[in-house]
Amino acid sequence: MMESLVETIKSKVRALKKSKPKKQYVKMDKSASVKVEIRSRKARKLIDKTLKAADRPGKIDSIS
């Protein structure tokens, strides 16, 4: 009796796993505004590094 119950449950679980398709996510391209935002963040970082290096003229630091 117990074995048949376990087998029934197993078969139902298998059927549920097969019936649910996995969700496929579509990779979206970055919009123009997002690209501009990324570029401006990178530019801001570079400007900050440059200003920091300019504040210490005696030190030679690589900006990159």
Quick one: pLDDT at residue 51? Answer: 92
pTM above 0.85, yes or no: no
Phi/psi at 12 (5° precision): -65, -40
Residue with tokens 């679980």: 13
Quick one: pLDDT at residue 47? Answer: 95
Cβ of 49: how many Cβ atoms within 10 Å?
14
pLDDT, one tens digit per residue, over 4-61 is: 889 999 988 888 777 666 677 777 788 889 999 999 999 999 999 999 988 887 766 5
SS3 43: helix
Quick one: pLDDT at residue 18? Answer: 72
Quick one: pLDDT at residue 49? Answer: 93
Cβ partners under 8 Å of residue 46, min gap 6: 63
What's the Cα-to-Cα distance from 13 to each of 10, 20, 32, 43, rounded to whole Å?
5, 11, 45, 54
Quick one: pLDDT at residue 54? Answer: 87
